Structure 1
Amino acid sequence: MIKLLFVFTSAVCLDIFILYFLGLVGRRWGSLEVVERVSGGETELLLRQWLESGLRWALLSGGAALLWKQQQQEEERGPLVRRWILAHCFIAPVYETGRLTLFGNFPLEKLDTWLVGSAAAALGCLFWETLLPDSSGGSTGGGQQKQKARVLFMRVIRFYRPDYLLMIGAFVFLTLAVLCEMFIPLYTGKLIDILRVEQHWDDFRSAVILMAVFSIGSSFSAGCRGGLFMCAIGSFICRVKLQLFGSLVRQEIGFFERTKTGDITSRLSTDTTLMARAVALNVNVLLRTLIKTLGMLYLMFSLSWKLTLLMLMETPLTGLLQNIYDTHYQRLSKEVQDSVASSNDAAGEAVSGIRTVKSFNSEPSELHRYNNRLMDTHNLKTRRGTVRAVYLLVRRLIGLGVNVAMLHYGRLFIQHGQMTTGSLVSFILYQSNLGRNIRTLIYIFGDMLNCVGAAGKVFEYLDRKPEVSTDGTLQPEKLEGHVCFQELTFSYPTRTDHNVLEDFTLELKPGQTTALVGISGGGKSTCVSLLQRFYQPHHGQILLDGQPLQNYQHKYLHSKVVAVGQEPVLFSGTVRENIAYGLPDCSLERVQDAARKANAHEFICELNKGYNTDVGERGNLLGSSQKQRIAIARALIRQPQVILLDEITSFLDAESEQMVQKALANCSNHTLLVIAHRLKTIERADQIIVIDQGKVLEQGTHQELMEKKGHYYKLKEKLFADDSTHAQDKTRN
């Protein structure tokens, strides 16, 4: 900081020397006196100011560059010094150019111009550096975040494109509401001027009528604006939720295993609503405040440009003060939170270890420790409160000073006939709202970019591509159902370091039943999941009739390869809707035929409303055996070519199991893959595959494997009998 002050001081001294030297040259040549006596000398004087400013800028920039090079601090404060030099040198000619263009010649003394310009440049550069720091160096990450926020914000805006008529109507009414509201203070001042004169009742009546029209128009337009915005927001929320849900259901199973259900529901319910309401409402407030601010500035300039410039001096001061306050207040708030957490930890430790505290007679020390933590918190809160009090005091003193100055100069302007009393009242009414509007603009702009954080989470899911491709197009009219697992290696996304299947090879022939047996965790259910394309193998491939599974069209594949799990999931709705799930035009006769094959028709007919009976949430109004048979019917109604059965008979009684086995046995042209722990189901399989740790240990019929007395022989007595008895106990219960 000392080095920075040294550079600034050196630049100011150098600039004073340059000004003094240029003044000597001007007096020696007599240019200044000549210019002032010649008609139209303002142009030559202005040109001279621009030339002087350019020369000063070149000399000061060169000197500052040399000083920074010596101090080796160019990367830290160089941009701030360069901005100050540029503004300091050129603010005077820019001001003079605008003043002469708009208001004619009101000359200022050279030294006054230099002092005012220097102070304004320093204040402007400090304001710029504090609120809008240079994007180079360490703030690159912040700049990237802001750029990302802007991109997300524009994507949210583009999502409103289908509702452009509603948005255009809302913006039209927004503009009308702001314009009507903006003219009310103006006519309030005119009414005051009219009341000072006795014989102007017609003007008074006209002003009152116009004020009433503006008030009614503002209220009506504001109501229409709010209604149209809410309609657009509602349509936006429905559209985004639908697209997000569509993107979610297209994701692979591994995505749902890695992502918490709470995160998904939060994106669907909370974040979509937040991104719609926050962004749209912030845009509403931003546009309304921006239009109102620009309109008020225009009217204030028309009333008195001098008072407007005086009032605008408050803006950089309050902005700088707000930034300094936010920095210190947020830091103290974090320290307060940490201190409160420390106090709670001290109390929690004492309570949880109360036996130890009492046994060592440490109650006074624990009380003292807790009191110290509380005092730390109290001191931090006091400091935070002091910072806020000082901030409020300084902000109000600044506002009070500006108001006093405005009233003082307003009285002088009224005395000299430059303003009327009504104009001053109108100006004061505008000024009281302008500061609040500017603070709202600063807050809303930042808050609007922060709100797109929720949009970023939603777009993250919308843009996500499933890791398991569903772009296949193959849809043969006839499918044999010949399945080959060729040297598969696979690990679950949640445990990539552990291979569930390794160099796994298996063949499922059409018209045959293949049973997979083995201890839990051996990879049996993984084979079923891979056949359904829930996951993508890391190595190897699965062939269906000689073609890789990924080549088949997604809907076609899942109509030809169906699975029934150990714990079937039913959805709220009727029995008929669950059996015909995914088949909207399915007839009742087809549903009943599938139910008969699954031995479910009889118990369905005994329900209160038959096939129209509500199964409840997740089928909780039905028994386990009933849900299992409805799930089997749901699979059979699609007339698949490959049927995957994962412990489907575990909740069925002996009679129901026999009926299902007969129904499946009638499907002689189907490929059946069965995972079961019941020996009765295993014995009937055409081939039995023993799997352990993702590898095939034995393969053959029941009789062949029993004669080998290998792994299958050992599993027969140990696993099948116990699980069969356990399943029978479940059925009785």
Structure 2
Amino acid sequence: MAIVGSILCALSLGTAELLPLFGNHDVLGGLVCMWSVAITRWALICSLLLSNVDLKQRAVMKRWSAAHCFLGSVYESCRQVMFGGPLESGAAPLENPWQPWFLVLNTVAAAAACLFWEITFPDSNGESNGKEKKQKARVLFMRVLRFYRPDYLLLLGAFVFLSAAVLCEMFIPFYTGKVIDILGTQYHWHDFRAAIFFMGLFSITSSLSAGCRGGLFMCAISSFTSRVKVKLFGALVHQEIGFFELTKTGDLTSRLSTDTTLMARAVALNVNVLLRTLIKTLGMLSLMCSLSWKLTVLMLMETPATGLLQSIYDAYYQRLSREVQDSMARANDVAGEAVAGIRSVRSFSTEKSESLRYGNKLLDTHKLIVRRDTVRTLYLLLRRVQIPLFVAMLYYGRRFIQSGQMTTGNLVSFILYQTDLGDNIRTLIYIFGDMLNSVGAAGKVFEYLDRKPQVSTDGILQPDTLRGHAQFHNLTFSYPTRPDRPVLQGFSLELKPGQMTALVGPSGGGKSTCVSLLERFYQPQEGEILLDGQPLQSYQHQYLHSKVAMVGQEPVLFSGSIRDNITYGLKNCPLEKVYDAAQKANAHGFISQLEHGYDTDVGERGGQLSGGQKQRIAIARALIREPQILILDEITSCLDTETEHMVNNDALVSCPSQTLLVIAHKLKTVEKADQIVLIDNGTVLEKGTHQELMDRKGSYYRLREKIFTENSPQNSH
């Protein structure tokens, strides 16, 4: 190792001792010498000093040693190509006082280059995950592009105008320099007029093209967003009921509003900015090279540092911005809770503590804002570090003007291009990250678009006649939100045509679950439901729900007229049928007394009507379909005595072949049922007529006070 160390020390001193072999003034020989020393040094470091380093650190050290060993040689080679002259770095005699500083700067520059590489292209054990993520983002991006297929003409036109706008904009600084050259030298009116004409032409064309480009892109975004929202909404409403119980409403509305817009931006706005910036950057580089390729290479030396600074800044600033938004949301939650519960706050005299709690949340937000703004301040400060490079550009530009390699106008044009070049490079770096975020939002949307409902609606059975004979066979069922708590266990029940079956029992016993399963809101884990001897899932979705109608305890009305709500889901329904259904539900009377009658708007969720009125409209909505199976879940809870009597005695017996399933807690509703089924803890305890169950004096008799909420002489049996 001592020998190796001596060799390395000798090689690290530079090439001064080897230059006599080639001649001190032989530049080509000096470069060959420098590259030979660099290669030998790098080979020795890799083979001898890195043999005992683990694999991950070895890769990093190899890159650092390569930068350290070859940086001086690369610099001298590039400098010779650009400017020529004698060798400077690492080739001077050892007595040169600048030699130690060059070695230090070489080491620091190598470390900075290595740091840029490691941050931009890090080694990680999760390379496969990174590739999978990129592959997934690429697939999602292509899917978004396919959604834009109907808007391809708009995008194509936008791209044409984008190219025209950028190309025309790029030539404005070029002709600005020409005008300066014309004014600074012997003045020629024709040349000046031509330059001014082209400047004006390119400026007007650029403005018009930019406006057309923006308009076409906005049209494409609007069309795309509307189309995706419709498809997403259609996919959501086809999901099973359990999906909506597990998914928060805020998540769904966020997908419909925010994420669909981000999807549009992923292609339209982001690609607009990306293509515009890319074309402009490439065009400016080509024009800058035509003006002075040497100054262009000098300006490009800041690109890695700019990219590294922008990447670090974007990551930290976006993370802090998200934390600020979350902190503000928490502060708003505290304020909202206090305002909503102001009576409790006043009652317990906690005004000061609530103010203190809100102040603490705002203080957390303030600290995050300070951190975020500090990061931005440091970023803006570091961006000013490029001033020395700008000074170098002016220095060498002056030398090129003196040597006749450039004109003053060329230098002015070059400066104008260089001013925009840094901003364009930063925009390119930012837009890639923003596109990745947008594609991530598209992934959430596609997750819902691709989701298959767990309760299938692919049945095809549509018999001409349906008797309405329903059978529950050994059902076991748990709700998706509570999979470990069975609601029904070995449950069996038969509903016969022409009979009224009443389900009774304590709350939470499984009555409403039977209704939900018959409506195909859920799929039982075990057992099956037969309708006229066929599995329930084999029936066509629309056909099944035209034959099975339900009225819930809390009916939902939709904004629109009363007529629209009664005929909800039906097309071209005659007005006579609407009147008939409303009369059966005892709703025609109060509807006729309204100012606009059946055209009266019910308001949002039926807010303009009372609970009983909404209940009667919901009953009419079910009866107008003339269903073979009618399900009534606590419909009499909001009805007055007269309406309840009419519903029980008129509407429910108007179709003698109809299968009627009723859930009620009023004795008058169930005592005339052909079959009363007592359900508790998901099992059938007893069934029979009211008199049979009372005479049996079993569970129905003992639980009657828990089952029924009204005082009745029958309850004293």
- If the TM-score is normalised by the length of the shorter chain, which range does it land in? 0.7 to 0.9
Structure 1 stretch 181-190 or stretch 335-344: which is displaced more?
335-344
1:276-675 mapped onto 2 (5 Å cutoff): 276-277=264-265, 280-322=268-310, 392-396=380-384, 398-661=385-648, 662-675=650-663
**Secondary structure at the counterpart of residue 497 of structure 1:** coil
Q: Distance in 2 between matches of 1:343 and 1:586?
A: 52
Q: Distance in 2 between matches of 1:257 and 1:672?
A: 28
Q: Distance in 2 between matches of 1:169 and 1:616?
A: 45
Q: Is the 8 A contact 2:30 2:87 kept in 1?
A: no
How has the CA–CA distance of structure 1 residues 412 and 496 changed in structure 2, closer, same or farther, with 3 Å as cutoff?
Answer: same
The equivalent of 2:341 in structure 1 is none
1:47-86 mapped onto 2 (5 Å cutoff): 60=42, 63-64=45-46, 67-72=49-54, 74-75=55-56, 77-84=57-64
Deviations 1:489-531 (A, max 9, x none): 1111112221111110111112211111111111001100000
Deviations 1:661-719 (A, max 9, x none): 32321311111111112222212211111101100000111221111011112333553
Q: Identity percentage over the alignment? A: 66
How has the CA–CA distance of structure 1 residues 476 and 318 changed in structure 2, closer, same or farther, with 3 Å as cutoff?
Answer: same
**Once the 2 structures are TM-superposed, how far is the Cα of residue 291 of structure 1 from its aligned partner?**
0.9
**Once the 2 structures are TM-superposed, how far is the Cα of residue 441 of structure 1 from its aligned partner?**
1.3
**Once the 2 structures are TM-superposed, how far is the Cα of residue 288 of structure 1 from its aligned partner?**
1.1
**Once the 2 structures are TM-superposed, how far is the Cα of residue 459 of structure 1 from its aligned partner?**
2.3
Number of residue pairs the alignment of both structures matches: 673
The equivalent of 2:673 in structure 1 is 685
- Alignment of 1:269 with 2:251, yes or no, is no
**Secondary structure at the counterpart of residue 543 of structure 1:** strand
The equivalent of 2:173 in structure 1 is 185
Consecutive unaligned residues in structure 2, runs of 5 or more: 92-101, 333-343, 346-355
**Secondary structure at the counterpart of residue 649 of structure 1:** helix
1:79-94 mapped onto 2 (5 Å cutoff): 79-84=59-64
The equivalent of 2:186 in structure 1 is 198
TM-score in terms of structure 2 length: 0.82
Q: Distance in 2 between matches of 1:476 and 1:377?
A: 64
Q: Is the 8 A contact 2:311 2:430 kept in 1?
A: no
How has the CA–CA distance of structure 1 residues 248 and 690 changed in structure 2, closer, same or farther, with 3 Å as cutoff?
Answer: same
How has the CA–CA distance of structure 1 residues 530 and 380 changed in structure 2, closer, same or farther, with 3 Å as cutoff?
Answer: closer
**Secondary structure at the counterpart of residue 509 of structure 2:** coil
Q: Is the 8 A contact 2:506 2:706 kept in 1?
A: no
Q: Distance in 2 between matches of 1:380 and 1:691?
A: 57
**Once the 2 structures are TM-superposed, how far is the Cα of residue 412 of structure 1 from its aligned partner?**
0.7
Letter in 1 for 2:53: Q
How has the CA–CA distance of structure 1 residues 516 and 65 changed in structure 2, closer, same or farther, with 3 Å as cutoff?
Answer: farther
- Alignment of 1:126 with 2:115, yes or no, is yes
Q: Is the 8 A contact 1:11 1:60 kept in 2?
A: no
Q: Distance in 1 between matches of 2:493 and 2:223?
A: 51
Q: Distance in 1 between matches of 2:84 and 2:505?
A: 99
Q: Distance in 2 between matches of 1:12 and 1:143?
A: 42
**Once the 2 structures are TM-superposed, how far is the Cα of residue 117 of structure 1 from its aligned partner?**
9.9
Q: Distance in 1 between matches of 2:620 and 2:328?
A: 60
Deviations 1:148-200 (A, max 9, x none): 44443333333222111111111111111111110000000001111123341
Letter in 1 for 2:119: T
Q: Distance in 2 between matches of 1:541 and 1:611?
A: 42
Q: Is the 8 A contact 2:470 2:532 kept in 1?
A: yes
Q: Distance in 1 between matches of 2:370 and 2:601?
A: 62
Q: Distance in 1 between matches of 2:705 and 2:323?
A: 66
Q: Distance in 1 between matches of 2:287 and 2:108?
A: 28
Letter in 1 for 2:117: W
The equivalent of 2:702 in structure 1 is 714
Q: Is the 8 A contact 2:550 2:630 kept in 1?
A: yes
Q: Distance in 1 between matches of 2:220 and 2:310?
A: 34
Q: Is the 8 A contact 2:310 2:426 kept in 1?
A: no
**Secondary structure at the counterpart of residue 298 of structure 1:** helix
Structure 1 stretch 228-237 or stretch 104-113: which is displaced more?
104-113
Letter in 2 for 1:78: R
Q: Is the 8 A contact 1:279 1:452 kept in 2?
A: no
How has the CA–CA distance of structure 1 residues 651 and 415 changed in structure 2, closer, same or farther, with 3 Å as cutoff?
Answer: same
Q: Is the 8 A contact 1:61 1:82 kept in 2?
A: no
- Alignment of 1:245 with 2:252, yes or no, is no
Q: Distance in 2 between matches of 1:334 and 1:177?
A: 35
TM-score in terms of structure 1 length: 0.81
**Secondary structure at the counterpart of residue 137 of structure 1:** coil
Q: Distance in 2 between matches of 1:319 and 1:522?
A: 65
Q: Is the 8 A contact 1:511 1:671 kept in 2?
A: yes
Q: Distance in 2 between matches of 1:335 and 1:14?
A: 51
Q: Distance in 2 between matches of 1:636 and 1:395?
A: 73
Q: Is the 8 A contact 2:76 2:89 kept in 1?
A: no
Q: Distance in 2 between matches of 1:613 and 1:260?
A: 33
Deviations 1:333-377 (A, max 9, x none): 999999999999xxxxxxx99xxxxxxxxxxxxx9xx99x99x99
The equivalent of 2:243 in structure 1 is 255
Q: Is the 8 A contact 1:510 1:671 kept in 2?
A: yes
- Alignment of 1:163 with 2:189, yes or no, is no
Structure 1 stretch 507-516 or stretch 302-311: which is displaced more?
507-516
The equivalent of 1:358 in structure 2 is none
**Once the 2 structures are TM-superposed, how far is the Cα of residue 209 of structure 1 from its aligned partner?**
0.3
Consecutive unaligned residues in structure 1, runs of 5 or more: 1-5, 345-351, 354-366, 726-733
Deviations 1:190-235 (A, max 9, x none): 0111112334110100000000000000110111111111111111
**Secondary structure at the counterpart of residue 307 of structure 2:** helix
